[in-house]
Amino acid sequence: MSSNKVIHAIYNDDDVLMDAVHKTRAAHHHIEEVFTPFPVHGLDKAMGLAPTRLAICAFIYGCIGLSVATTMLNYIMIQDWPQDIGGKPSFAFYQNMPAFVPVMFEMTVFHAAHLMVITFYMRSRLWPFKKAENPDVRTTDDHFLMEVSVNNNEDELVKFFKSTGAVEVKVVEVENDKH
């Protein structure tokens, strides 16, 4: 396990933070992470993060749910135990499909939602009983923290972040054991 230094620039306004992120990227400093108490619109684009592919997973999971619902309804209502309910014959799936649409919709949403939660937790490495990685408890309340890597330029970076409107700038030793 190696250790290195990072700068923790703490802000108390999201607009000041966004401006600081733009200035930091323009100055070609590497932003390790930004911690916020609530989602900040446009922060991912300002940081230069790649778009997420979770929407593709949601579509695939919805298709899986629709397939499970169709297979389940066809087996239960047509093949296994056909019944004449409300005058609707059960000779073929397509004849009863309008009655099956609510169940198919609900199963699609159910599978997409539940499998997305599991995928998100796995992708984010959020396991049960995982130790929090939040460097400053104030970022869960009303402060914003930008973590920037230091490359033998501490004094320059401290001055730079104070000029961007940071209310507090700290140089911190961190251990590289995140992955």
**67/45 same-domain check:** no
What is the number of domains present in the chain?
A: 2
CATH number, position 143: 3.30.70.260
The reported pLDDT for the residue numbered 3 is 52
The reported pLDDT for the residue numbered 1 is 43
Q: Do 31 and 132 form a contact (C-beta atoms < 8 A)?
A: no
Q: Write the CB contacts of 103 (distance below 8 Å, at least 6 apart in sequence).
A: 69, 73
**43/69 same-domain check:** no
Q: What is the DSSP string of 43-92?
A: HHHHHTPPPP-HHHHHHHHHHHHHHHHHHHHIIIIIIIS---BTTB--S-
The reported pLDDT for the residue numbered 176 is 65
Q: Do 35 and 145 form a contact (C-beta atoms < 8 A)?
A: yes
Q: Which domain holds residue 154?
A: 3-51+137-175
Evaluate whether residue 18 is within a structural domain: yes
**7/41 same-domain check:** yes
Q: What percent of the chain has pLDDT over 70?
A: 95
pLDDT digits (tens, 9 = 90+) for 25-54: 999 999 999 999 999 999 999 999 998 888
Q: State the distance between the two ends of the chain, measured CA to CA, in whole angstroms.
A: 11
pTM of the predicted protein model? 0.71
Evaluate whether residue 130 is within a structural domain: no
Q: Do 57 and 116 form a contact (C-beta atoms < 8 A)?
A: yes
Distance CA 44, CA 36 (A): 12
**58/111 same-domain check:** yes
